[in-house]
Structure 1
Amino acid sequence: MSNPLNLNDLNFFVQAVEHGGFSAAGRMLGVPKSTVSKRVAELESRLGARLIQRTSRSFTLTDLGREFLRHAQASVIEAEMAEAIVRTHLGEPSGIVRMTAAVPTAQFVLAEHLVELPARYPKLQLSLHVSDRFVDMVQEGFDIAVRSHQAPLPDSTLLQRRLATHAFFVVASPGYLTTHGEPKRPEDLTGHHAITAGLGDTRWRLTSKEGEEVEIAPKPVIAADEPMVMMKAAIAGLGVACLPTSVCREILTEGKLVRLLPGWTAGSITTTILMPHRRGQLPSVRAVVDFLAERISD
């Protein structure tokens, strides 16, 4: 009977694939690149099969390697869960939790709260990957993705947990209002200078607390598809903007922007946590999710 595979070797293989190479996996695991390479080579030798095609410039899985990866990832997660159950029984959550989020979500929704996470769970390490590109959570080994979206998320095999919904406020700087006047009704926005997400964004639909809807046509003077840029432009007095409360709340408190038409909003954006089913069962992942739900809830 052959000896069973070494679980550590499976972990070295999974980390090398999920982090795109031996060097990155070594940095994450705190071991030399040569150790990761050697252990993966020993795994391939024991299996009698090539899992990774590697040259000086490329690192790709073989067809067999891709199939092996799915089962190796499951084995590593099961081991993490077994360890986490014991650690949770003995005390607080621990281990590494890998999270991904888009730039605006990280800046305006997560940043102020995540700095408090180490105090809550000192044995837990959080790794946040910030990127606006599409991220395949399962393939790239992430435990949590935080998404801010206006349209409902498509159905998938991922677990979803809604954190909060933030309304869009109509805002402008005090200086802009001094020069151009403050709109008192939605119709008064027609012709006002506007900071929009695109130059084609020429129609705004506003909704009152009572459910009344009004469509108005401001005049775009600058467009940007990034909320930080839009907020800076509004503070500089370039025009009126529609910004979610997650972005403009602090600036409104400081008085750098003023909310116009307090009884009206311009839509909303929802922040949702997504998790692969198996990783979502890890006590460390659940601890982070519960922490965020507590801090970011409506």
Structure 2
Amino acid sequence: MKYVVTGGAGFIGNNIVRLLLELNHEVKVIDNLHTGKIENLTDIKNKIEFENVDIKNFEEIKLNLKNVDGIFHEAALTSVPESFKKSQEYYDVNVLGTKNIFKIANKENIRVIFASSSSVYGDIKKTPIKENFDKNPNNPYGQTKLDSEYLAEEFIKNKSKIIGLRYFNVYGIGQNSSYAGVITKFLENIKNEKSITINGDGNQNRDFIHVKDIAKANIVAMESKIENGFFNIGTGIATSINDLSKLMIKLSNHKHKTIHGSQLEGDVKISQADMCLSNRVLNWNHEINLMDGLRELIKNYLPSKL
């Protein structure tokens, strides 16, 4: 089979590309390298096709989506803090760019698995979060992902085959520190022998999911008999930021104290996926627990700490 991965030079997309190659599929990567890095593809450049194309460019995207069996749409701007400053740019890329993908895929009858986000739920008071909970994003990034889901629903009415995966807090080797989640930021603190800085009181919790599990979820969704739907992709396990910092300090033997800073704009208090629907309908579940994932990360980032 031949698949296109938009954003394939980025953190999640690159992991999907590599898993597809392991499964002996042909892969074309589409990435404008705005946040993705060509270096992520260096060791596999002879095994893939690569096109430096912006998803906002309809005609160029159209040329690059011919004769493929499926699309993994990962290209997006993903920084919550930045989305407040560049809301129009986020809309143009995450919504209008996604509309281009959906429109072409609909015409060519191509199946699409696309990256949505737990950010569509906003600051939910009740957990675990089910897919049918109210959606009320509290930041522009989350709103663009919800708008993309609304677009998907419209195309589904016109016989498109689209599945949206609502990623929770993704972590793993290769995450760009400029757009990173809290785990990578803590690793940077530890590596530089600085105090770990927690935004807010640290009682906020997150559902941390390893990027390799995210990649597998995408493959499972693509191969599923289910044609449409939106699914949580997490572990179903909540970890507070305070507990995360303690665990990372213990695993790395970090000697510096933890300090607390101001809460980030657009941050949510609780985030924990209800995984019943994904388990039952997609027959998917995570495989990597947080402890093992953190050990792998620390070994990669900080070999002298182990």
Q: TM-score, normalised by structure 1?
A: 0.24
Higher RCO (CA < 8 A, seq sep 6+): 1
Higher strand share: 1
Q: Answer with 1 or 2: which has the greater Rg.
A: 1
